[in-house]
Structure 1
Amino acid sequence: MTPHVYDLRSSWLLAASTEEVWAIIADVHMSWPNWWPNCSFAGPLNRVEPASSSQEDILKATTAHLNFKASLGYTLTITIHPTAVVTPSEIDFDAGGHLVGTGRVTLTAEAKQTTRMDIEWRVRPTQRWMNLLSPVAAPAFKAAHAHMMRQGERGLTKALAKQRSEHTK
């Protein structure tokens, strides 16, 4: 059976500058579990020697192992490894684990203090049960993904508000 390929896209509008959003999403500690509900580390970060001490090179030398608990009750363990980083606007990455493929996060300034964050995934599941169910369950898997992404957007919105309040103290 040929694995189903999922092209998943999300766009978030965030009341913050691209630099503020970048500071959180491109953190060299890949601390998404600090703000993304139902996301946790599945293991420690793996980091090879970066080419330099720049944020871009540190990110490209890092692989994060993350668990995402879906609303349907299953947990996906995904590795995220940045392959290209353009500060403060884009991160391309390879994905591995339960979903294999590529992704991209792009930040675009929309208006004063508003950033659009576009997230693209092109992945295929590696778990046998997901591949067997994909012909009939793909709409449910896509809906679970959309729900997880809305949770991430809400979590990032809260983290940006907290970041902003800490800077105004």
Structure 2
Amino acid sequence: MAHYKFETKWVFDASSSATMDQVWDVLRSHEYEKWWEGVKAKVLESGDESGIGELRESFFKTKLPYTLSFKNRLTALEKPHLIQLEAYGELEGTGTYHISKSNKLIEVIYIWDVITTKHWMNIMAPIMRPMFKWNHDQVMHQGAVGLAKHLNMKLVQG
């Protein structure tokens, strides 16, 4: 199995409207298809009263000719600063959103620490790793653009 650790940074100028709470709420929701191109998610199991334990199934259509699907369970929620999940399926590992604000900028750092379980991806990892990173970056950029548009923020970095 091939291991990947990606760190993505999104920076938004939120001087016009959006708050950290709104960014957290949108990232916490399972309604990605409303704002993130090529991404769908559905809730399979509810979590506790705070949402911890919620199980979702996510589907990512990538820029390369393949789709990734995996289940993810919410493991930590600290509004408006943190969302953490554990992934199972074609990708296994953890994903963590760190959300902060400085002046009029909202920063989202996403750390995706996973292994691939698709046989072909593991075989191709030694030569395709740079393309898999590029693909990840493209999917995450689509998320940044969609979130900025959805919350009427200017994307500064992402």
TM-score between the two structures when normalised by the length of structure 2:
0.88
1:69 paired residue number:
61
Query: In 2, Cα distance between the equivalents of 1:8 and 1:145?
Result: 8
Q: 1:101 aligns with which of 70, 84, 93?
A: 93
- 1:36-72 Cα offsets, whole Å, 9 max, x none, are 001123xx4122462x3xxxx22x1311111101111
2:135 partner SS: helix
1:125–1:154 distance in 2 versus 1, CA, 3 Å: same
Query: In 1, Cα distance between the equivalents of 2:141 and 2:34?
Result: 16
1:139–1:63 distance in 2 versus 1, CA, 3 Å: same
1:131 paired residue number:
122
1:165 paired residue number:
none
Answer yes or no: is 1:157 the counterpart of 2:148: yes
Q: 1:89 aligns with which of 81, 86, 89?
A: 81
| RMSD of equivalent CA atoms | 1.5
1:24 paired residue number:
26
Q: Any gaps of 5 or more consecutive residues in structure 2?
A: 154-158
Q: Once the 2 structures are TM-superposed, how far is the Cα of residue 82 of structure 1 from its aligned partner?
A: 1.1
Q: 2:135 aligns with which of 127, 144, 149?
A: 144
**8 Å Cα contact 2:47/2:55 also seen in 1:** no
Answer yes or no: is 1:79 the counterpart of 2:63: no
Determine what percentage of the aligned residue pairs are the same residue.
Answer: 28
Compare CA radii of gyration and give the structure with the larger one.
1
- 1:3-54 Cα offsets, whole Å, 9 max, x none, are 1110011000123321221121123xx111211001123xx4122462x3xx
Query: In 1, Cα distance between the equivalents of 2:81 and 2:122?
Result: 34
- 1:83-118 Cα offsets, whole Å, 9 max, x none, are 011111001110111100011000010222x21000
Greater fraction strand: 2
Answer yes or no: is 1:4 the counterpart of 2:2: yes
1:9 partner SS: strand
Query: In 2, Cα distance between the equivalents of 1:15 and 1:5?
Result: 33
2:156 paired residue number:
none
Count the aligned residue pairs: 149
Query: In 2, Cα distance between the equivalents of 1:26 and 1:76?
Result: 20
Query: In 2, Cα distance between the equivalents of 1:49 and 1:106?
Result: 21
Q: Any gaps of 5 or more consecutive residues in structure 1?
A: 163-169
Q: Which has the higher contact order (CA 8 A, sep 6+)?
A: 2
1:105–1:48 distance in 2 versus 1, CA, 3 Å: same
1:40 paired residue number:
40
